[in-house]
Chain A
Amino acid sequence: GAGVSQSPSNKVTEKGKDVELRCDPISGHTALYWYRQSLGQGLEFLIYFQGNSAPDKSGLPSDRFSAERTGGSVSTLTIQRTQQEDSAVYLCASSLAHLLETQYFGPGTRLLVL
């Protein structure tokens, strides 16, 4: 079946602009995660959704970052007033609620802030 999809695959923006990144999880996966992968920092957890609620937002680096999930499916990560340090690959993963240890990752969105 279809895996996790993300769009856009690449995004170039100017400092100070807002960006929206989209994630479509595997159908039936109620758990959804956002991670960020940057050079020198590795992969870092951002936020976790179970259904439409986010019990763990502890990884969001600042209040410029927000995320929502609607219909227990698609999720959007929004970065407001982008900064150059936001440049990274943003990865989304999904899993079944009872198999959180088995997460399937999407291909990521490569964000470059100029």
Chain B
Amino acid sequence: QKEVEQDPGPLSVPEGAIVSLNCTYSNSAFQYFMWYRQYSRKGPELLMYTYSSGNKEDGRFTAQVDKSSKYISLFIRDSQPSDSATYLCAMSASMSTSYGKLTFGQGTILTVHP
């Protein structure tokens, strides 16, 4: 079983919908939680970063971390066709022990249609 599980989708939603993306993990040492967006044939781009549990909001994006359940989420409000991409969750343990090594989910392919 992989350390980080993410439903690959694909997920198709109409413009304006609220999108919910999720990952579960098994390694309790993970403390840093990131969401990356990857457009086709491009490198991943960091969207959101959260340390430990809690919520973080940035514009239309909200990241949630529940360490007790080993579950993280990314919500996209008022989704736009330009949000169509692959969304990757990533995690890391203590920076001093893991050197920032990221463990990724498989990625969820999202399409927002007009």
Q: Which residues of A contact B (CB under 8 A)?
A: 4, 31, 33, 35, 42-45, 48, 50, 55-56, 58-59, 91, 93, 95, 100-108
B residues less than 8 Å from A58 (CB atoms): 101
Q: Which residues of B contact A (CB under 8 A)?
A: 32, 34, 36, 41-46, 49, 51, 88, 90, 92, 95, 99-107
Are B100 and A103 interface neighbours, CB within 8 A? yes
CB distance from A49 to the nearest CB of B (A): 9
B residues less than 8 Å from A56 (CB atoms): 99, 101
Are A50 and B99 interface neighbours, CB within 8 A? yes
Are A43 and B101 interface neighbours, CB within 8 A? no
CB distance from A5 to the nearest CB of B (A): 10
CB distance from B83 to the nearest CB of A (A): 19
CB distance from A77 to the nearest CB of B (A): 15
CB within 8 Å for A100 and B46 given contacts A42-B105, A42-B107, A43-B88:
no
Are A105 and B43 interface neighbours, CB within 8 A? yes
Are B101 and A48 interface neighbours, CB within 8 A? yes
Cα A42 to Cα B90 in complex, Å, equals: 11
Are B43 and A95 interface neighbours, CB within 8 A? no
Are A45 and B101 interface neighbours, CB within 8 A? yes
Cα A62 to Cα B10 in complex, Å, equals: 33
Cα A4 to Cα B102 in complex, Å, equals: 17
Cβ-closest 5 pairs across A and B: A100-B100, A105-B43, A43-B104, A42-B106, A101-B32
